[in-house]
Amino acid sequence: MLSRFPLAATLFALMTTAAALSAAEPSFPDPQSLPVHTALPDPLVLTDGQPVTTREAWSEKRAPELRALFQHYEYGAFPPPAKVMAKVLREDKAALGGKATLREITLSLSQPEGTEIHLLLVTPNDAKKPSPVFLGLNFNGNHALLPDPQIFVPPTWKSHKGQTLEQSRGSEFDTWAVDQTIARGYALATFWNSEVVPDDKDAAEAMLKKFRPSGSAERGPSDTATIAAWAWCLSRAVDYLVTDPTIDARRIAVVGHSRNGKTALVAAAFDDRIALAVPSQAGCGGTAPCRVSEELAKEGPNGRPTVETVRQINKSFPHWFCGNFKAFNDEPARLPFDQHELIALCAPRPVFLSCATEDVWANPSGQFEMLRAADPVYKLVAGDGLGATQMPEVSKPLPSRLGYYIRPGKHSMTRSDWAVWLDYADKWLRP
Residue at 422: amino acid letter = L
- Residue 24 — pLDDT band, cuts 50, 70, 90? very low
Specify whether 230 is located in the same domain as 338: yes
Any idea what the CATH number is for the domain that residue 349 is in? Answer: 3.40.50.1820
Predicted pLDDT of residue 21: 39
What confidence tens digit (pLDDT) does each residue in 246-260 have?
999 999 999 999 999
Specify whether 345 is located in the same domain as 413: yes
How many folded domains does the chain comprise?
2
Specify whether 88 is located in the same domain as 57: no
* Residue 20: pLDDT over 50: no
Specify whether 166 is located in the same domain as 125: yes
Specify whether 289 is located in the same domain as 386: yes
> What are residue 419's DSSP bridge partners?
none
Tell me the pairing of strands 247-257 and 131-138. parallel
Catalytic site residue from 3, 59, 160, 411? 411
In angstroms, the Cα distances linking 376 to 236, 330, 347, 379 are 31, 29, 10, 5
Predicted pLDDT of residue 18: 47
Look at residues 75, 106, 133 and tell me which one is the last residue of a structural domain: 75
Question: The domain containing residue 301 runs over which residues?
Answer: 84-429
Look at residues 56, 75, 94 and tell me which one is the last residue of a structural domain: 75
Q: Is 411 a catalytic residue?
A: yes
Q: What is the pTM of this model?
A: 0.94
Question: Which residues have CB under 8 Å from 428's CB, separation 6+?
Answer: 275, 276, 350, 401
Predicted pLDDT of residue 27: 81
Specify whether 39 is located in the same domain as 125: no
Specify whether 128 is located in the same domain as 191: yes
Specify whether 68 is located in the same domain as 88: no
What confidence tens digit (pLDDT) does each residue in 305-363 have?
999 999 999 999 999 999 999 999 999 999 999 999 999 999 999 999 999 999 999 99
Predicted pLDDT of residue 14: 55
Catalytic site residue from 171, 222, 235, 258? 258
Specify whether 71 is located in the same domain as 89: no
Look at residues 75, 104, 129 and tell me which one is the last residue of a structural domain: 75
E strands present in 131-265: 131-138, 187-192, 247-257
